[in-house]
A and B are shown apart, each in its own frame.
Chain A
Amino acid sequence: MAFGVEQAKRWMSIANDHIQQQKQYLTELDQAIGDGDHGLNMARGFQEVVEKIASANYEDLGSLFKDISMTLIAKVGGASGPLYGTAFLRMSLALAGKKEADDKELIAALEAALDGIKARGKANVGEKTMVDVWEPVMEFLREKESLQVKEAALLAKEKMEHTKELEAKKGRAAYLGKRSVGHIDPGSASSHLLFAALAEALEG
């Protein structure tokens, strides 16, 4: 399946639609165990992203993802700014000079994004963060070696729901310790929205 600038733009546009619709939900998740700014931050950041990339022309995927990254870093004040900003920055490096990416190349770029998130947040699986969605989804895609995005989105949803059972070890929620159990991690919820949007952008 071909993934070019047009598909990437559609991914961001659908992701933004989801985030705007779920803004209140993401905020409620964050109010329960964090500082309550996740919905607002993500909505502001992705709105800016969509506006920035909509009218611009891009020669390659690298420059498009660089713009996405820089916009998120500049506009999102909470932890999701540097985390998603780093993720898209790593994708932009992996896709530099490419007009289109095949399955293998896009999976490698998403893998680089995950590495970036882990390096920035110093988080690993089981700590109730977005890594609890990204890591199993990337494991699945790596194994399949093809972009089975619908299955990946379903897995992302399942793994997001699984964060409910985990005790937070990172971020503001870690102060709550065991009291964080029973709540979905907001970062895992927005990560699920990104994978769901990718599936819709590529398969309709």
Chain B
Amino acid sequence: MKYVSLVLISHSEEIVNGLKKLLNQVQPDVSIAVAGGNDGEIGTNAFRIKEAVESVYSEKGVVILFDIGSALMNAELAMEMLEKTDHIAIADAPLVEGAYIAAVEAGLGKSLDEVVRACEQAKQMVKVVRSEVE
């Protein structure tokens, strides 16, 4: 694969399906896999995360983004189940903003490290500029 791929994890299937749709519109060339919900219910599932990673894996790299709570534990568990994890990174970033940046950067052909670094910057992003006089 030419570009770094994305794996999106959420407790809700709808959240990651919707997010994937949004990102496909922004950057259709980047491969995105989702792991949302658990058996149709709210939750996350390490096996589904593992499958999602495998479905978009290439040596170019895979960046994993997750939402809340136990999503990280299951992502780490999935990593332990995978045979090789050299080119896979879990990003410490908010899911929506982080994935948006990751898709854009990946689409520019950036390396895995560069994509991870860029999307982790989303934590510092100012979304509402407040005027100082209020």
Decide if B42 is an interface residue (CB 8 Å cutoff): yes
Q: How many residue pairs, one in A and one in B, have C-beta atoms under 8 Å apart?
A: 54
Using C-beta atoms within 8 Å of the partner chain, give the interface range for chain B.
10 to 19
Name the CB-closest residue of B to A120: B73
Within 8 A of B (CB), among A52-97: 73-79, 81-83, 85-86
Contact partners of B42 in chain A: CB under 8 A: 37, 77
Cβ–Cβ contact B77 & A120, under 8 A = yes
Please give the residue numbers on chain A whose beta carbons come within 8 Å of chain B beta carbons, in ascending order. Answer: 35, 37, 41, 73-79, 81-83, 85-86, 120-121, 171-172
| B39 A77 Cβ-Cβ under 8 A | yes
Q: For residue A139, give the distance in angstroms from its CB to the closest CB of chain B.
A: 24
Tell me how far the C-beta of A198 lies from the nearest C-beta in chain B, rounded to whole angstroms: 24
Residues of B within 8 A of A37 (CB): 42-43
**Which residues from chain B contact A77 at a C-beta distance below 8 Å?**
11, 37-39, 41-45, 70
Give A75 to B48 CA distance when docked, in angstroms.
11
> Of B37, B74, B76, which contacts A81 at CB under 8 A?
B74
What's the Cα separation between A95 and B41 when bound, in Å?
A: 33
- Which residues of B sit under 8 angstroms from A81, Cβ to Cβ? 38, 43, 45-46, 70, 74
Bound CA–CA A81/B74 (angstroms)? 8
Complex interface residues of chain B between 24 and 73 (CB less than 8 A to chain A): 37-39, 41-47, 69-70, 73
Contacting residues, chain A, for B37 (C-beta < 8 A): 77
The answer to whether B69 and A171 touch across the interface, beta carbons within 8 angstroms, is: yes
Question: In the bound complex, do residue B69 and residue A82 qualify as a contact, i.e. CB atoms below 8 Å apart?
Answer: no
In the bound assembly, the distance between CA atoms of A77 and B42 in angstroms comes to: 7
